[in-house]
Chains A and B, each alone.
Chain A
């Protein structure tokens, strides 16, 4: 167990809400980068979403991308600098709504990048609207009566969707809602970076994450929501592993 702040995180307070999964996941990503000794080779892409300010937290080169476009920018970065480590960090709107095409095609081309996908089944930054991963009957500010499959379709399962692409090297869905899940998430994230170092191709870790503020749940209940509701719709596990 490590208790010191990773070098890859600045010693500043973050703006994330109490109980939000970003803080945990930032820590896991930064820890993986430290453990692999690659901080000075990393170029991160910041999304549009609650993590838009991640360049205030991550102690590495960062480029702020347009909403959903990180995998395309990451393609440009990695193709031009193949020996650097490129990762995207994206929410569910960024990756699975507006950026769906960029996500699928970067995955399909087998771009040798690492994608950290934060799935909290809602649009956090803009105040709690429906996300592509919002679950049936889940109330959001744009589904005031709960998500209705007949009107909005069911939620998208990104790991399952991308697992059909031969160009993908590694897909795992994890959570940050219990200590045991956090440990597994840390392993998966580190593996996703290792696969890039090994030149294995496109790796994505989907992180089921809490959004207490927009779910209108206190932090402990929000973690329970991930365990009891989200894990049923988005089962944890490895969806692809080229080995």
Chain B
């Protein structure tokens, strides 16, 4: 185990994320084995007790998310991790956690789907992550790291956002990020927002009135509507405070590529090649998928004539890009579902073909 400071860590993404969680104060982890994130429960099984926390290998992903429901209610920073089919199992629990306004972090190292799919990296769960997944009008804060270094930082941020907004936060990775090992500078944990006192936790009613954590609002008739309004006022605050994207060579771009996570690294290679050849191409890489960073797209739509969205899916984020551009510009797609991977060469080919038309 490398020390902080000048030494670097060299671990798989799954382990980077786990260590970052511990350093951010995560002290309860419940999870279940599923490829490609098995290293997460394995790492947590020895590191969490070492850090004085609790590790439970749950009997299912359903049980794991419900253990978080209880653990979070006590005020402990808690996390679970899974991959696509297991995240489907967690949707009920996530809806309850969001409705009860409990903080927690859920990692999805996406794999090919639907159903059992395969065990390669994929981006087929964007809709599930950003458009609901579970029932009801709620939102997850969704973070999309692109490198192991960014995974380190965003994992720490995830716990802060969860606590600051009393909301579940999802780290939307993929099997490639989870499995690849890169050097990571283990920057120390620093809160990125002002952490409120947890004056709502359940720890026994000594010296105070009893508290109830619930999601059922039967009476009066408008109680649930009022609760939804409160939740959505919170989501509006999050929409103002958290959207984040990285922009590369967008200011004078005629064609703007957009991708997130691992795909953005590959697309970034293609954009570099385009620039090397004198083509005015840029890249907008959303880092928060919810709240989606609309502003860079609207700004780019002033001058860019074409957008190209690349995803390891049949096209999910592309809908948010179209909405963000307010349909002012054509938005093309390059990608495929089912655990398929793009290459910089193929993305460049698509860029070149589109660039010819929009020049």
Q: Is the CB of B206 within 8 A of A41?
A: yes
* A85 nearest CB neighbor, chain B only: B204
Q: 15 A-B pairs, CB-CB below 8 angstroms?
A: A39-B205, A42-B204, A42-B205, A52-B216, A55-B214, A59-B205, A60-B205, A62-B214, A64-B100, A73-B69, A75-B70, A76-B74, A78-B70, A80-B54, A101-B60
Q: List 3 tightest A-B contacts by C-beta distance, closest first.
A: A76-B70, A73-B70, A76-B71
Q: Is the CB of B205 within 8 A of A77?
A: no
- Is B154 close to A, CB under 8 A? no
Q: Select which of B54, B62, B204, B212 is within 8 A of A64 by beta carbon.
A: B212
Q: In the complex, how many residues of chain A place their beta carbon closer than 8 angstroms to a beta carbon of chain B?
A: 36
What mask results when residues 42 to 70 of chain B are scored 1 for a CB within 8 Å of chain A, else 0? 00000000000010101110111011111
Q: Select which of A43, A55, A69, A78 is within 8 A of B62 by beta carbon.
A: A69
What mask results when residues 39 to 77 of chain A are scored 1 for a CB within 8 Å of chain B, else 0? 111110110000010010011111111100100111111
* A77 nearest CB neighbor, chain B only: B70
Q: Select which of A59, A69, A74 is within 8 A of B210 by beta carbon.
A: A59
- Is B30 close to A, CB under 8 A? yes
Q: Is the CB of A80 within 8 A of B205?
A: no
Chain B residues with Cβ below 8 Å from A46 are 214
Known A75-B56, A101-B60: A63·B70 in contact at CB below 8 Å:
yes
Q: Is the CB of A40 within 8 A of B96?
A: no
Shortest Cβ gap from A84 to chain B (Å):
5
Q: Is the CB of B72 within 8 A of A64?
A: no
Chain A residues with Cβ below 8 Å from B30 are 76
Q: Is the CB of A77 within 8 A of B74?
A: yes
- Which residues of B are in contact with A by a Cβ distance under 8 Å? 27-28, 30, 54, 56, 58-60, 62-64, 66-74, 76, 78, 92-93, 96, 100, 202-207, 210-216
Q: Is the CB of A72 within 8 A of B58?
A: yes
Q: Is the CB of B74 within 8 A of A80?
A: yes
Chain B residues with Cβ below 8 Å from A92 are none
- Is A105 close to B, CB under 8 A? yes
Q: Is the CB of A61 within 8 A of B211?
A: yes
- Is A81 close to B, CB under 8 A? yes
User: Measured between alpha carbons, how far is A4 from B173 in the docked complex, in Å?
Assistant: 58
Q: Is the CB of A75 within 8 A of B67?
A: yes
Q: Select which of B56, B62, B210, B215 is within 8 A of A60 by beta carbon.
A: B210
User: Measured between alpha carbons, how far is A78 from B202 in the docked complex, in Å?
Assistant: 11
Chain B residues with Cβ below 8 Å from A76 are 28, 30, 66-74, 78
Chain A residues with Cβ below 8 Å from B66 are 65-66, 69, 72-73, 76, 102
- Is A229 close to B, CB under 8 A? no
Chain A residues with Cβ below 8 Å from B216 are 52, 64
Q: Select which of B69, B71, B92, B96 is within 8 A of A79 by beta carbon.
A: B71
Q: Select which of A41, A55, A72, A101 is within 8 A of B212 by beta carbon.
A: A55
Q: Is the CB of A84 within 8 A of B203?
A: yes
Q: Is the CB of A41 within 8 A of B204?
A: yes
Q: Is the CB of B213 within 8 A of A77?
A: no
Chain B residues with Cβ below 8 Å from A40 are 204-207
Known A64-B215, A65-B66: A80·B28 in contact at CB below 8 Å:
yes
Q: Is the CB of A43 within 8 A of B203?
A: yes
Shortest Cβ gap from A53 to chain B (Å):
8
- With most chain B CB atoms within 10 A of its CB, the pick from A45, A62, A63, A84 is A63
- With most chain A CB atoms within 10 A of its CB, the pick from B60, B63, B92 is B63
* B203 nearest CB neighbor, chain A only: A81
Known A40-B205, A41-B204, A80-B28: A74·B70 in contact at CB below 8 Å:
yes
Q: Is the CB of A102 within 8 A of B210?
A: no
Which residues between 73 and 125 of chain A lie within 8 Å of chain B, taking CB atoms? 73-81, 84-85, 101-102, 104-105, 109
Known A61-B210, A72-B70: A79·B62 in contact at CB below 8 Å:
no
User: Measured between alpha carbons, how far is A77 from B59 in the docked complex, in Å?
Assistant: 17
User: Measured between alpha carbons, how far is A59 from B207 in the docked complex, in Å?
Assistant: 13
* B68 nearest CB neighbor, chain A only: A76
User: Measured between alpha carbons, how far is A85 from B205 in the docked complex, in Å?
Assistant: 11
Q: Select which of A55, A73, A84 is within 8 A of B67 by beta carbon.
A: A73
Q: Is the CB of A101 within 8 A of B63?
A: yes
User: Measured between alpha carbons, how far is A177 from B93 in the docked complex, in Å?
Assistant: 36
Q: Is the CB of A64 within 8 A of B213?
A: yes
User: Measured between alpha carbons, how far is A102 from B70 in the docked complex, in Å?
Assistant: 13
Shortest Cβ gap from B233 to chain A (Å):
22
Shortest Cβ gap from A57 to chain B (Å):
11
Q: Is the CB of B69 within 8 A of A43?
A: no
Known A55-B212, A81-B74: A72·B67 in contact at CB below 8 Å:
yes
Shortest Cβ gap from A94 to chain B (Å):
12
User: Measured between alpha carbons, how far is A200 from B211 in the docked complex, in Å?
Assistant: 28
Q: Is the CB of B69 within 8 A of A69?
A: yes
Shortest Cβ gap from B70 to chain A (Å):
3
